[in-house]
Chains A and B, each alone.
Chain A
């Protein structure tokens, strides 16, 4: 009886979404299961990246065609379970429960079957067609294990297809299985059978749900979720089941699912070998209780040293190219009798503005290469453990260190990464301090200023920005936590402040995949190039225009132009910080568009096209002439380190904070902090030195 109704409803829902040409396939799996690698193997670089409605969780879509079938592939966030306690899990569950999806591909790391199957069992309970993609079979074989591919689908009741996302094997068979598994035959027995106590309650709840709505689709899933007291399902439950729900059975349900998984493992996994000896060995060094942290700081020091020292070597080649380009453009333009204003716009405006920024490409590529290496090897997760002690002291969990680390590359993805922090306060604090981690766009400014004024100590001066930024970030969070606790004490005296505990999976170390690292570096370099071609290009033209024009038209002397007037406006405010020059304040304003524009504007202001030795000495002489010395340069670096990030970052911050009040606070705080810090540095050193 019950089965017949289930059948009817199920077929009914299929009729509503008739089998069209296109199948919509959702990719789901644990973090580190190789889900995204598999997804990329199908879609290649042709992706549509958007957000899930209403939240900033990334939604990737791609199209795949094979054997007259067209598949719309949707990549879901990497999750461990399907509750409604995190944004990622909520988004995934709502998508799977929706009518949009036809088939779910559950990507499972075969070398860690036990934990991965937990999500699989939850997916099966939802009652949609699931195909299991058994990934990383090569690692299983390497360790001498075997998986019974005949018994496994029998026990789980779903197709199991071995694949290798890295070696791109099994891809066609997997999609073939998907196209033949769009409908499920409802079986008599559910896959996981719980204890009598729970099963009795499930039966009672499903009966009551059916009384209310005979057409209900998969009442067993809702019954189980109600027994887990899932808030989202409880809120939408149409019938009163409070007499059956005497307590939450979540713990029991989780445990009994794992009991069933143990049974499956027992039957399908042969020569079980849990531990990766290599990971143990590496961890003994990298997560050492004393050496772990010095090693981490050593690695980061090396990363920045490479970025500056090695990057500068390669930069020389780029400078040569730029030099020849600008000479060639200048002479060809003169040859075709172009007007002096046009030549000035192209050579002094565009080439000087965009070109100076482009020569820093090697530095930036090296930095992103290093970050990709840390991430792909599995080390990044360890950093949260190594830094947890310090992070706890400033009121954050070690987990908040990942966004901070990513912030050294680009602040935009770093701010987005704060989503993994569950606690609203932790997120806010992390968003506040992440911009203090100097992003790659600030590298050109540091290199330029320290190269000009600090001679042999240039690398050290640049490196000091990273240390000062990190320390200031930690202190800011510490102070913010103190304030929060004070407010809590006033509101509810005597309550202990809530400390957010670290909880993270440490994936096994693996040799970084060259292909995925190169894709990551290329994506970031492309972003940098695109920025040079758009934001910096436009900013350079605008800068050239406001510098070269005044109410009387084109001016030879830039100090007569609009730009100088705008810059002079801020001079009194920046004076105490040693930055009271219209040229400097103008370039700082311009830097709000993108931090690289500070350097572009210097190029345009001082009429140089290339930040090479000759260019640097030109700027140096011009700056010295207006009384801008090493101390002013250092104060300017400090100001740049702390002041309001670029427009792109502000946009993300506003989106993530979802509050105009907090966004305004962040902007004001950063401006005030930058001004205060540079004033203090400038005034103290002036007292000591002069």
Chain B
């Protein structure tokens, strides 16, 4: 199991699972840290605080929060599924039964 802390700086990963507790969970989700989204670690401080990029936002979080974000490497199918590396296409969501 790999957490945001174990990420290599600059590489892009996928948020697999969030083990976050409230209220941090809600706040990070509102900022776009949802399961399946792309995430990239930019910097790590000595105390374990981390700066990362998610959905175009640069966020700084403390160590304990970073430990609760489980990520995984991008696979071939992820890359195929995501145009330009970011964002995926899902059509026909207007009206019920679209999914």
Residues of A in contact with B (beta carbons under 8 Å apart):
80-81, 83, 85, 111-115, 118, 189, 193, 195-196, 199, 250-251, 254-255, 258-260, 262-263, 265-266, 272, 274-275, 279-280, 283-284, 287, 289-290, 292, 381-382, 384-386, 388-389, 392, 397-398, 422, 499, 501-508
Q: Please give, as numbers and ranges, the residues of chain A lying within 8 Å of B26 by CB-CB distance.
A: 83, 85, 250, 254
Contact in complex: A505, B27 (CB < 8 Å): no
Most buried by A among B26, B32, B83: B32
Given contacts A263-B89, A272-B86, A272-B87, contact A505 B94 (CB under 8 A): no
Contact in complex: A189, B94 (CB < 8 Å): yes
A270 to chain B, nearest CB (A): 11
Q: Please give, as numbers and ranges, the residues of chain B lying within 8 Å of A501 by CB-CB distance.
A: 24, 61-62, 64-65
Minimum-distance CB pairs A-B, first 8? A389-B47, A501-B62, A502-B62, A81-B30, A385-B60, A255-B34, A114-B55, A506-B58
Contact in complex: B59, A114 (CB < 8 Å): no
**Which residues of chain B from 37 to 91 have a CB within 8 Å of any chain A CB?**
37, 42-47, 49, 51, 53, 55-62, 64-65, 83-84, 86-91
Most buried by A among B23, B25, B58: B58
CA distance A195 to B96 in the complex (A): 8
Contact in complex: A260, B49 (CB < 8 Å): no
Is B31's CB within 8 Å of the partner chain A?
Answer: yes
- A114-B55, A251-B29 are known; give 19 further A-B pairs, CB within 8 A: A115-B32, A118-B32, A189-B94, A193-B98, A196-B99, A250-B26, A254-B26, A258-B32, A266-B87, A266-B88, A275-B53, A398-B49, A499-B64, A501-B64, A502-B62, A505-B58, A506-B51, A506-B58, A508-B58
Q: Please give, as numbers and ranges, the residues of chain B lying within 8 Å of A284 by CB-CB distance.
A: 43
B65 to chain A, nearest CB (A): 5
Contact in complex: A388, B62 (CB < 8 Å): yes
Given contacts A385-B49, A422-B23, contact A265 B62 (CB under 8 A): no
Contact in complex: A262, B97 (CB < 8 Å): no
A373 to chain B, nearest CB (A): 20
Contact in complex: A262, B96 (CB < 8 Å): no
Contact in complex: A289, B44 (CB < 8 Å): yes
Q: Please give, as numbers and ranges, the residues of chain A lying within 8 Å of B53 by CB-CB distance.
A: 274-275
Contact in complex: A279, B31 (CB < 8 Å): no
Contact in complex: B32, A506 (CB < 8 Å): no
Contact in complex: B60, A258 (CB < 8 Å): no
CA distance A114 to B57 in the complex (A): 9
Contact in complex: A503, B65 (CB < 8 Å): yes
Which residue of chain B is the closest to A422 with respect to CB atoms?
B23
Most buried by A among B24, B34, B53: B34
Contact in complex: B84, A502 (CB < 8 Å): no
CA distance A531 to B25 in the complex (A): 45
Contact of B56 (CB < 8 Å), options: A274, A292, A382: A274
CA distance A638 to B46 in the complex (A): 33
Contact in complex: A115, B31 (CB < 8 Å): yes
Contact in complex: B88, A262 (CB < 8 Å): yes
Given contacts A251-B29, A501-B64, contact A388 B47 (CB under 8 A): yes
A57 to chain B, nearest CB (A): 18
Contact of B23 (CB < 8 Å), options: A85, A114, A195, A254: A85
Q: Please give, as numbers and ranges, the residues of chain A lying within 8 Å of B31 by CB-CB distance.
A: 80, 115, 505
CA distance A386 to B62 in the complex (A): 11
Contact in complex: B44, A505 (CB < 8 Å): no
Given contacts A196-B99, A508-B58, contact A385 B45 (CB under 8 A): yes
CA distance A292 to B53 in the complex (A): 19
Given contacts A263-B90, A385-B51, A501-B62, contact A112 B95 (CB under 8 A): no
Contact in complex: B94, A503 (CB < 8 Å): no
Contact in complex: A389, B45 (CB < 8 Å): yes
Instruction: Pick 6 A–B contacts, CB within 8 A, sort by A.
Output: A199-B96, A255-B34, A272-B84, A289-B45, A385-B51, A506-B59
Given contacts A254-B30, A503-B27, A505-B31, contact A114 B89 (CB under 8 A): no
Contact of A502 (CB < 8 Å), options: B29, B34, B60: B60
CA distance A382 to B45 in the complex (A): 12
Contact in complex: A502, B49 (CB < 8 Å): yes
Contact in complex: B96, A114 (CB < 8 Å): no
Is B28's CB within 8 Å of the partner chain A?
Answer: yes
CA distance A80 to B31 in the complex (A): 7
Contact in complex: A388, B42 (CB < 8 Å): no
Contact in complex: A505, B59 (CB < 8 Å): yes
Most buried by A among B28, B49, B59, B64: B49
Contact of B45 (CB < 8 Å), options: A258, A266, A292, A381: A292
Contact in complex: A504, B23 (CB < 8 Å): no
A120 to chain B, nearest CB (A): 13
CA distance A398 to B64 in the complex (A): 14
Contact of A504 (CB < 8 Å), options: B37, B45, B60, B96: B60
Contact in complex: A503, B61 (CB < 8 Å): yes
B7 to chain A, nearest CB (A): 15
Q: Please give, as numbers and ranges, the residues of chain A lying within 8 Å of B96 by CB-CB distance.
A: 193, 196, 199
Interface string of B8-31 (1 = CB under 8 A from A): 000000000000000111111111
CA distance A407 to B36 in the complex (A): 42
Contact in complex: B64, A283 (CB < 8 Å): no
Q: Please give, as numbers and ranges, the residues of chain A lying within 8 Å of B91 by CB-CB distance.
A: 263
Contact in complex: B27, A388 (CB < 8 Å): no
CA distance A195 to B83 in the complex (A): 23
CA distance A265 to B24 in the complex (A): 26
A474 to chain B, nearest CB (A): 15
Is B35's CB within 8 Å of the partner chain A?
Answer: yes
Q: Please give, as numbers and ranges, the residues of chain A lying within 8 Å of B59 by CB-CB distance.
A: 503-506
Q: Please give, as numbers and ranges, the residues of chain B lying within 8 Å of A272 by CB-CB distance.
A: 84, 86-87
Contact in complex: A193, B34 (CB < 8 Å): no
A87 to chain B, nearest CB (A): 14
CA distance A289 to B29 in the complex (A): 27
B56 to chain A, nearest CB (A): 5
Which residue of chain B is the closest to A500 with respect to CB atoms?
B62
B4 to chain A, nearest CB (A): 13
Contact in complex: B32, A195 (CB < 8 Å): no
Most buried by B among A272, A279, A284: A272
Which residue of chain A is the closest to B65 with respect to CB atoms?
A501
Q: Please give, as numbers and ranges, the residues of chain B lying within 8 Å of A388 by CB-CB distance.
A: 45, 47, 49, 60, 62
Q: Please give, as numbers and ranges, the residues of chain A lying within 8 Å of B28 by CB-CB distance.
A: 503
B82 to chain A, nearest CB (A): 10
Which residue of chain A is the closest to B25 with respect to CB atoms?
A251
A540 to chain B, nearest CB (A): 47
Contact of B86 (CB < 8 Å), options: A115, A274, A279: A274
CA distance A287 to B50 in the complex (A): 10
Contact in complex: A384, B60 (CB < 8 Å): yes
Most buried by A among B27, B62, B90, B91: B62
CA distance A83 to B28 in the complex (A): 13
CA distance A111 to B25 in the complex (A): 25
